[in-house]
A and B are shown apart, each in its own frame.
Chain A
């Protein structure tokens, strides 16, 4: 409170500008990280590296879309990583059995089932999303383990077009952009220019006010968690195209980073604030940060300390700048 009073007008004007354009400081930060990287390893920032960085940021950014959308309503989707794994595993193991098309359909059905479970728990039983998605993630993991025993002998196969999408690049542009660009454009458009997107913010910033305006919150929650699972499913397919090996834990490791990407990108975990633009930059920041720490010759422990400290510092500065406190 007192801090804002003592601010000089220039600082305040900068603050206001940043508050209205919250992605800008993030982009600046990203560029700083890239510059540091280039300074430490001259020559690394080349066409190939940029393409690879974007390539790895894409699945992360997609799973982080699940977090962003659910966080806009004050929730979270801890099952997203597992859903991506489920979709990728079901797809890869079904391809030899039923062919590519049906395999992808089955994968998406599996994803949507988890989403429905989440949606029902959150919308009707009012279970805290953290617990609901944690539980559904456990259930999905168990089901996946049972499932893999049924298909172990049939082997697995990743369709050619997914591999092409996941691994190829065209200059600095990885092929996955063909999926991601429309996806990101759709989410960015939807969050501000569709009724559903606006309702996410509305439910997240004041559910009672939304109710007062005639919004039935359960419809929003149900649709949201199913949508989140669908996105996670697609991300899983893209991801397996990149890694090219089916695994029972393929995308699980993206879970915490996806939350971090959304948070670093300025989405409030309490709902009603933020957006996907910041998350995309957040995913890039995390990916570059990962590279930076990988290439720094230091003990693994120190890398992790640095990773956590940087995430915290970025979020704290961001909260200050955009005055969310």
Chain B
């Protein structure tokens, strides 16, 4: 019971923090409104996908250092494919890129299970491999995004019967994010497979004894991480209109958001909601630092300090929990 409260407590605390930051934003910039929310959610999109993927592998007890590189592969692959196929091939491109992501993740997972080399080492090596693959696909930024697809994440939604005053505050990119996460995570977390992921992360031995196929579960978790990385890469291509072979800053950002979001490094604890909220918190923070025109160098210090302090606080809570 106490644990349950504690777990939800963390997410609730994050939500409160996010609301506080929104209020602060409104105070700093009274004009902040629909377009600001749209900008925010579009900026959060690739971070949120990277974080979702990372959260799943951390829950299963691992870590994936290659997440940003896989995003780059998916980004350039989708840009190159869309360049070749244009608007008509959109659906095909999406399916192909998602399959590519699943395959990359599954390869990571299979290598971990088969070689018995620790996750962190395998994915470190794969970081270089996927980075190289991205460069082999496009040696310089290029390709293009199908306009039809770009429209998916641009602007607010239009819902019949709802006044525009309301729909203006619901950016399409947010809807896309929620739908993608929900389509994968909601069924998963209610399925046997979702349970397996938590069980393996929590206690592999007990999970094995309860009949969980450990190796398979790990591979699936990594494949899902690859899937989300592909979504992240796709969202990069759609928002920039091109594919960039150099991985962006998504690895460290996703690890930070996952930990801030209440997922314990080591596995078994946490969900996707906390990390996604943490992503938004970090993005709003970034925005507020810009709105306040804080010295850019100071803002790096602020971001680092907030990360360290929040995690230290989490460490304290965990320590007290352990003592009790």
Contact = CB atoms under 8 A, between A and B. Distances in A.
Contact of B318 (A126, A141, A143, A145): A126
B129 A137 contact: no
A98 interface: no
Interface string A305-325: 111110110011001000011
B132 A305 contact: yes
Given A139-B301, A145-B297, A304-B135, A312 B307 contact: no
Nearest to B120: A269
Contact of B132 (A125, A142, A306, A312): A306
Given A125-B312, A269-B120, A304-B128, A142 B298 contact: yes
Interface string A5-37: 000000000000000000000000000000000
B136 A299 contact: yes
Interface in B95-145: 111, 115-118, 120-122, 124-137, 139
A128 B139 CA distance: 37
A138 B139 CA distance: 30
Interface stretch (B81-89, B163-171, B177-185, B251-259): B251-259
Contact of A131 (B118, B127, B311): B311
Given A143-B301, A256-B127, A134 B252 contact: yes
Contact of B307 (A135, A149, A315): A135
Nearest to A256: B124
Contacts of A256: 124, 127
B301 A142 contact: yes
A171 interface: no
A299 B132 CA distance: 9
A256 B120 CA distance: 12
A136 to B, nearest CB: 7
A303 B131 CA distance: 10
Contacts of A263: 121, 124
B313 to A, nearest CB: 8
A268 B117 CA distance: 10
B206 to A, nearest CB: 19
Nearest to A126: B315
Given A145-B300, A300-B135, A308-B125, A135 B308 contact: yes
Contact of B135 (A140, A299, A316): A299
Contact of B316 (A125, A143, A269, A306): A125
A311 B128 CA distance: 10
A270 interface: yes
Contacts of A131: 255-256, 259, 265, 307-308, 311
Given A263-B124, A316-B117, A139 B129 contact: no
B4 interface: no
Contact of A304 (B129, B266, B312, B318): B129
A146 interface: yes
B250 to A, nearest CB: 14
A308 B128 contact: yes
Contact of A134 (B118, B255, B266): B255
B27 interface: no
A259 B124 contact: yes
Interface in A273-325: 299-309, 311-312, 315-316, 319, 324-325
A324 B126 CA distance: 21
Nearest to B315: A125
Contacts of A315: 115, 117, 121, 125
B305 interface: yes
A309 B129 contact: yes
Contacts of B295: 146
B303 interface: yes
Contacts of A259: 124
B201 to A, nearest CB: 15
A146 B297 contact: yes
Given A260-B124, A299-B135, A130 B297 contact: no
A269 B112 CA distance: 14
A145 B296 CA distance: 9
Interface string A103-133: 0000000000000010001000111101110
Given A141-B300, A302-B132, A302-B136, A269 B311 contact: no
Contacts of B13: none
Contacts of A125: 312, 315-316, 319
Interface string A250-275: 00000010011001000011100000
A299 B136 CA distance: 7
A306 B117 CA distance: 18
Nearest to A316: B115
Contacts of B126: 308, 312
Given A131-B256, A134-B252, A311-B125, A319 B116 contact: yes
Contacts of B121: 263, 269, 312, 315
20 contacts: A125-B316, A126-B318, A128-B265, A136-B308, A142-B300, A142-B301, A145-B300, A259-B124, A260-B125, A300-B139, A302-B132, A303-B132, A304-B132, A305-B136, A308-B126, A308-B129, A308-B132, A311-B128, A312-B121, A319-B116
Interface of B: 63, 111, 115-118, 120-122, 124-137, 139, 245, 252, 255-256, 259, 265-266, 295-305, 307-308, 311-312, 314-316, 318-319
* Closest A-B pairs by Cβ, 10 of them: A138-B304, A304-B132, A308-B128, A142-B300, A301-B135, A142-B301, A301-B136, A305-B132, A135-B308, A308-B129
Interface of A: 117, 121, 125-128, 130-132, 134-143, 145-146, 149, 256, 259-260, 263, 268-270, 299-309, 311-312, 315-316, 319, 324-325
